[in-house]
Amino acid sequence: MKPDQVKAVISGGASGLGFATAEKLVAGGGRVALLDVQDDAGRQAATRLGPSASYHRCDVTREAEVDGAVQAAAAKMGGLSVSVSCAGVATPGKLLGKDGPLPVAAFERVLSINLLGTFLLDRAAAAVMQHNAPGEDGERGLLIHTASVAAFEGQIGQVAYATSKAAVAGMVLPLARELARFGIRVVGIAPGIFGTPMMSGLPQEAQDSLGKQVPFPPRLGRPEEYADLVAAIVGNRMLNGETIRIDGAIRMAPK
């Protein structure tokens, strides 16, 4: 898919990895629709990106909102060819914490946003993409999941987060196999430690310490580096059915 053919919906698009991805796709001549629950930030982000972008309020855990936002985005852009799931939370919690067992509601919330949210966006986007006119090699669309290195090396206190991200990665191959008949690719990205709004809540000293744990380059990942990988996946049809780590060779310790 050529950059100027991109018509993308991006969940969590108002900030962090999602907004960096939107910037990259718009710079390449594409159009984007930002899906988020941060109304002020979402509208401001769309304004910054210009006429090729729009904002659509969407709680990714609610089927009707996701379906409605995707339909509205496709109508606004005149089609839909790419979906990028960036909405997520990383709420920590031990199975047996100092205040007792992890509340079931806390576990469910993380899975609902990270996993169910990805599934619902895939579902709505693929339903539109299947009707696209086939491009080169019969390609009709692309779904990108945001997993995490925690899917493979979950740390103590990440039982909910690691579970959700492992499942997000686990969806990639079966969906790629299923949707191949429509020419829809499915690819996952597993970021390491990135400088996102979730990370910005930590003191700078803590962020610097985390960055030094990365073998090379010894720093936090930058959202634009995630966006660069999204653009590479868009342009290479042989990338399909795999989750790609982008982590500076870090392998997470138990804690």
Q: How far is residue 83's CA from residue 143's CA, in Å, rounded to a whole number? A: 5
CA distance 60 to 65: 7
Q: What is the DSSP string of 48-90?
A: HH-TTEEEEE--TT-HHHHHHHHHHHHHHHTS--EEEE-----
Amino acid present at 69:
A
| C-beta separation of 3 from 68 below 8 A | no
Strand, coil or helix: 31 = strand
Q: Which residues are catalytic?
A: 161
First CA to last CA distance, the chain: 41
Find, among 149, 160, 144, 161, the residue nearest to 194 by Cα.
Answer: 149
